[in-house]
Amino acid sequence: MRAHLGDRLVVESTTSGAARRDGEIVGLHHEDGTPPYDVRWSDTDGVTLVFPGPDAHIQHFGHPRPGAARRTSPHEEPVSVGGPVDPGDIGRRVAAERRRQGLGREETARRARMSPGYLSYLEEHPADPSLAALIRLADALGTTTAALRGGGTGLPPGQGHALLHPRLEDLGEEECRSLLSTHGVGRIAVASSDGRPAVVPVNYEIVDDTIAFRTAPDSLPAAAVGTEVAFEVDHVDDAMSRGWSVLAVGRASVVTEPEAVRGLAEHAHTTPWAGGERQMWVSIRPTSLTGRRITAEDR
């Protein structure tokens, strides 16, 4: 008998009138997946150490899709049985959060008490890890299981509660430049053709301390050309109720020099998420760069 985290242990009744029991395997004691197991019983929600008898069998959690890798124990390396497949949503979120925090797979796996091979499998193949594994991953990454599952992705950030003792601090220019980084999604504040103010998100690049983004000549962001505009980027950490924002103010102009346009296009990290024909490059050279950060007050 071999199992991995998330499998179900089913104990059939051998006595007339007795109910069968089942529960999720939430702990392994041997690297090869052999008994005993820590089992969280579905009828009591309690966890006990179980040495399965002849009346018990394992229900393996999930089955690989055709062409996917065989799902193995968290202590085994996954074995490929076909061509490459796209990672599932959970795997993509785990990998993105891990990279955002600058963590390697080895360190993340150590924190989550799972093998690097299993973490690699989760990130690279469609998978639905057990709740126990997901809880450990969320704890290792400083986030929540709901966030890793994609819960709340359709809601605006900042749904969490405010810190008990928050501290709002101003950021210096150098830190603001660092937070702007090399690219991402920012918001440009412009006046529309009817004079009304508008704020529009755009994919941007940073080139020699200049903000650049692509748009279409007849689009709302194009209205920024020839005017002084505000450009804002921010990050909200819902799990920790923290965040920062950076505001750049400067004059927007069209990039017309062919060599400069070609260089921007060649080194752009992504095409505009909005799609369509957006080949007009607009640059903003900040004359003012300010920012603020919300953190927990030192006590």
pLDDT number for residue 106: 93
Backbone dihedral angles phi then psi of residue 124, each to the nearest 5 degrees: -110, -5
Domain assignment of residue 18, given as a range: 8-59
Instruction: Give the C-alpha distances (Å, rounded to integers) separating 100 from 25, 93, 127, 143, 291.
Output: 31, 10, 21, 12, 20
Condensed to tens digits (0 to 9), the pLDDT of residues 122-145 reads 888 877 777 778 888 988 998 877
In a domain, 240, yes or no: yes
pLDDT number for residue 153: 63
In a domain, 42, yes or no: yes
3-class DSSP assignment, residue 133: helix
Domains identified in the chain, total number: 2
Condensed to tens digits (0 to 9), the pLDDT of residues 16-63 reads 555 678 888 878 888 888 999 988 777 676 788 899 888 888 987 543
pLDDT number for residue 144: 79
Q: What CATH number did the domain enclosing 197 receive?
A: 2.30.110.10
- Position 28, amino acid: L
Backbone dihedral angles phi then psi of residue 117, each to the nearest 5 degrees: -65, -40
Contacts (Cβ under 8 Å, ≥6 apart) of 150:
89, 90, 93
In a domain, 142, yes or no: no
In a domain, 44, yes or no: yes
Tell me if the pTM is above 0.85: no
Instruction: Give the C-alpha distances (Å, rounded to integers) separating 173 from 74, 178, 237, 284.
Output: 45, 9, 22, 16
In a domain, 64, yes or no: no
pLDDT number for residue 18: 55
pLDDT number for residue 13: 65
In a domain, 173, yes or no: yes
pLDDT number for residue 82: 36
- 171 and 293 in contact (C-beta within 8 Å)? yes
Given a cut of 50, the residues of the chain with pLDDT beneath it are 62-86
